[in-house]
A and B are shown apart, each in its own frame.
Chain A
Amino acid sequence: MTDRADTKVDPDRIRGLLKQKEGRMRTCLQACAGCSLCAESCFLFKEKDNDPQYMPSYKVIQTLGRLYKKRGRVSREDLERMQQLLWRNCVLCGRCYCPFGIDIPNMIAFARGILRTQGIYGVFPHTSGSPEAEFGEAAPAQDGGTPNIGDLQEKSALTSSTGA
């Protein structure tokens, strides 16, 4: 899943990063009234049959909100769960709309930055973790080479048609 899956989480580093934008991010987290009106502005939420895990506010509360709540003292498993929310469940298209004017994409980008310092990151658009696990042989090259889109689409269609 990660380059440094066996390495320990560095809570001091996470805390230091959280501190940099603490006033802003805590204010934004507190300003969220939990109205859920941001949900329908996310195309992934609609695409995934209104699964709450794709709701913009859910993604922020369960990642950045959790990091602030635990003051950076999170386990690697916690970070890997966050990885799913921050990369697989969000493409950072910036189209989420908050009636309160909270800049949700900025918060997600900030949380992604924190996870990257712990060796956790998304490696392919709209997925997370190992591309091989998702696309098998059609995975993009590890050296950053461009994947064969045709192969990816074919593979993707194959997995959806077989219900895998």
Chain B
Amino acid sequence: MYEFVSGPLLWLSAIVFVAGFVYRTVRLFQLTEKKDVVLCPVTSPKDKPAPSISAEEQKLEKIARFQNSVLGRHPVMVIMSALFHLCLFLPVLFLMAHNVMLHRSFGIRLPSIPDGLADLMTVIVLCGGLFFLARRIAVPKVAAISSGADYGALVLTILPFLTGFLAHHQLLHYKSMLTMHVLTGDLMLIALPFTKVGHMVFFFFFRLTMGGEHSMGRGRRIWST
């Protein structure tokens, strides 16, 4: 079983992941086009007139602006979300055990993070997963828009980390946990471009390339239809 999930199934998952990722990106570019007008002109800080309010008022304005931002209103959610997503990627790409396999199979060398740090990151991901799950169940506004797809995406994201943690610490049957770790990792790869987890593609495309009031990049594209 382990040979199958870490051999043919892993190859299939990798192909589906890359193809799905490319499809999503190409589709987003097909649905949008470069705009030739500036929708939201942004004044450069240099061109802005000097503020007519006192330093004290400026300070109060900054505080009010922060309090009304997403971070100001939901500090726990934003910090947990940022940590969770950071810890999702780093151990996958830079875990020593993953890198050894990459080197053996393809001769690719990536920098590795210490096992202790990877362990801590995994615990953060697991705690983050529990936090998001509890939030989805207990907070009425989140529960109101949660569907099976949202719960499924969350479980699918957490499982490779949970099984990897259990396998690494040999808390349950090692071989079974290792097989489950690879299998859930494969499923995660397959699901990534086609499920709610696909927001990893959408987020960067929408916020960096699409024009709009909240665009973080140059925002030079608009929807074609």
Contacts and interface: CB of A to CB of B under 8 A. Distances in A.
Interface string A26-54: 01001111111101100001000010110
Nearest 8 pairs of A and B residues by beta carbon: A101-B206, A52-B144, A31-B202, A33-B199, A52-B141, A36-B142, A101-B207, A34-B150
Given A101-B207, A102-B206, A34 B214 contact: no
A61 interface: yes
B202 A36 contact: no
A114 interface: no
Contact of A37 (B74, B196, B215): B74
B142 A101 contact: no
Interface of A: 20-21, 23-24, 27, 30-37, 39-40, 45, 50, 52-53, 55, 57-58, 61, 97, 99-103
Given A40-B73, A101-B215, A31 B206 contact: yes
B219 to A, nearest CB: 9
Q: Which of B136, B145, B196 has the most CB of A within 10 A?
A: B145
B127 interface: no
A99 B212 CA distance: 12
Contacts of A99: 70
Interface in B188-205: 196, 198-199, 202-203
Given A97-B214, A100-B202, A24 B31 contact: yes
B25 to A, nearest CB: 12
A35 B144 CA distance: 11
Majority SS of interface residues in chain B?
Answer: helix
B142 to A, nearest CB: 5
B16 interface: no
Contacts of B196: 30, 33-34
A34 B197 CA distance: 11
B207 to A, nearest CB: 5
B69 to A, nearest CB: 10
Contacts of B169: none
A52 B77 contact: no
A61 B206 contact: no
Contacts of B73: 40
B28 interface: yes
Contacts of B223: 24, 103
15 contacts: A20-B225, A21-B225, A24-B225, A27-B31, A30-B202, A31-B206, A34-B136, A34-B142, A34-B147, A37-B70, A37-B74, A39-B141, A52-B141, A102-B206, A103-B212
B46 to A, nearest CB: 27
Given A34-B150, A37-B70, A37-B74, A55 B28 contact: no
Contacts of A20: 225
Contacts of B147: 34
B148 to A, nearest CB: 12
A55 B199 contact: no
B145 A100 contact: no
